[in-house]
Amino acid sequence: MLDPRVTKLAELLCTHSVRLTPDDRVLVHAFDVPEEAVAEVVRVIQSKGAQAMVRLESGLIRRQIMHGLTEGTVKTIAAIEKYEMEQMTAYIALRGTPNPLENAEVSSENMRLWGKEYTQPVVFGVRVPKTKWVALRWPNPVMAFASGMSSQAFEDFYFRVCTLDYKKMEEACKPLADLMNRTDRVEIKGPGTDFSFSIKDIGAVPCTGEANIPDGECFSAPVRDSVNGTVQFNTSSLYEGTEFVNIRYVIKNGRIEEASAGGNSEKLNKILDTDEGARYFGEFAIGFNPYVMHPMKDTLFDEKIAGSFHFTPGNAYDPPGGNGNKSAIHWDTVLIQRPEYGGGEIWFDGKLIRKDGLFVLPELEALNPDRLV
C-alpha cells in the first residue's frame, strides 16, 4: 500500500510549490526514485488538470555518460533537453541517487564541459528563469547514515521536514525579506570569519517551499565587487563528486583571491577557475528551517539549517535576488553560527540582526526554531 505521506508530499509539490493549473505542462525528472512514488506525483499532477511528462534516469548510467563525455555528446543532450524544457511550464525534480560520490572519478575537464554546455544553457538558461520548478531529494539509507539515523528514523524526519507548515514560514519570513530589501551593508563575523559586502538594490527572495523541498531561507546576492574579508566554512560540502572540508576564502573586491580546503585545495581552485564568474559570488542566503539542525552533506538540506547562512561562488539567479554574475558553477557553501558550531553574528547596516544563530530583532523572532516548529 502506498505510504500516505507520499501523497501528502505530492500534493504539496503540486499545489504549494509549483501551483499547478489546467494550463500547465509538467516535466517530472526522476533519478533512482521508486516507481510508485513517481506514479503518485503523476496522478496528483493529472488531478489538477495539468499535463504530466516523465523523464526517468539513473545515477549509475549518468556516471558512465560523464566518464565518456565528449563535446558532441553533451551538446546533443543539451539540445534535446533544452527543447524539451522549452515546452514545459513547470518542472519537478525527484533526486534519489543513492551514492552522492557517484561522480568522484569523473575528470574535472568533463565536469566543466558539462557545466558549460549543459548546466548553463538548460538549467540556468531555461529551467530556472522560465518554468515554475521545485527540486527535492528522495530518502535512502545513505542519507540516513550521513544524518546519523536509522533508515526508519530518517524517513520519519524526511517527511516531517519536507511537509512542514510552509504557510506559517511564509508569513514569518516577510519581515526578513523587507529588511534585506532595505539593507545596504552586511557584516558577518565568527571564528575565522570576518567579511562584509553590500546588497543594496539587489532585492531579497523568501524561499518557503516554492523551489526547494525542504525549504527555509531568504536569499539575495552581494553587489559583485563589494565583498571583502575572509570566510571559513564549518560544514563539509560535496561538489562534483568530491567532499571538501575546511573551505576558506580570502576575498578582495568581490573576487576569491585565495582558496583552500586542506588536501583538496588544488581541486577547489580548479573548480573556481572554471570561468571568470566562478571566483565571484552569486548568492547570499540566511537559513532557518527549524527541523534541519545539523549537516548531512546534502546541499538541499544543509543550506536550510537553522542558524546558518550560505555564500555561493558562481552563477546568480535573475533579479530580484541576483547580481548579474554568470558562471557554469553555483556552489552553495554553508556556515553554521549556532553556539555548538562556534557562534557568530550577522549585522545589517550596523545593527545586529542575528547572534549565535538566533534572530534578535523582535520582528524576526518568529523565524527562530522554537517559533517555527
Residue 25 placed within a domain: yes
Q: How far apart are CA 219 and CA 177, in angstroms?
A: 8
What DSSP designation does 240 have? Answer: T
Q: Which residue, 108, 131, 162, sits at the end of a domain?
A: 162
The helix (run of H) or strand (run of E) holding residue 246 is: none
Residue 82 placed within a domain: yes
In terms of residue numbers, what domain contains 304?
181-372
Residue 173 placed within a domain: no
**Does 189 lie in the same domain as 146?**
no
pLDDT at residue 241, as a whole number: 84
Q: Which residues make Cβ contacts (< 8 Å) with residue 102, sequence separation at least 6?
A: 59, 60, 62, 63, 241
pLDDT at residue 12, as a whole number: 97
**Does 199 lie in the same domain as 265?**
yes
**Does 143 lie in the same domain as 42?**
yes
Q: How far apart are CA 203 and CA 310, in angstroms?
A: 17
pLDDT at residue 277, as a whole number: 97
**Does 357 lie in the same domain as 227?**
yes
Q: How far apart are CA 315 and CA 281, in angstroms?
A: 7
Neighbours of 243 (CB within 10 A): 14
**Does 192 lie in the same domain as 128?**
no
Of 230, 187, 192, 212, the residue nearest 135 (C-alpha): 212
Q: Which residue, 162, 192, 222, sits at the end of a domain?
A: 162
Residue 228 placed within a domain: yes
Q: Which residue, 132, 162, 192, sits at the end of a domain?
A: 162
**Does 286 lie in the same domain as 230?**
yes
Q: Output the tens digit of pLDDT for each of the chain's 373 residues.
A: 899 999 999 999 999 999 999 999 999 999 999 999 999 999 999 999 999 999 999 999 999 999 999 999 999 999 999 999 999 999 999 999 778 778 888 998 999 999 999 999 999 999 999 999 999 999 988 899 888 999 999 999 999 999 999 999 999 999 999 999 999 999 999 999 999 999 999 999 999 999 999 999 999 999 999 999 999 999 999 998 899 999 999 999 999 999 999 999 999 999 999 999 999 999 999 999 999 999 998 999 999 999 999 999 999 999 999 999 999 999 999 999 999 999 999 999 999 999 999 999 999 999 999 999 8
Residue 167 placed within a domain: no
- Our count of domains for the chain comes to 2
**Does 234 lie in the same domain as 153?**
no
**Does 149 lie in the same domain as 189?**
no
Angle in degrees, CA 184, 233, 144, rounded to 5: 120
pLDDT at residue 142, as a whole number: 87
**Does 124 lie in the same domain as 86?**
yes
For the chain, how far is it from start to end, CA to CA, in angstroms?
A: 30
Angle in degrees, CA 275, 309, 127, rounded to 5: 50
Q: How far apart are CA 310 and CA 218, in angstroms?
A: 10
**Does 352 lie in the same domain as 266?**
yes
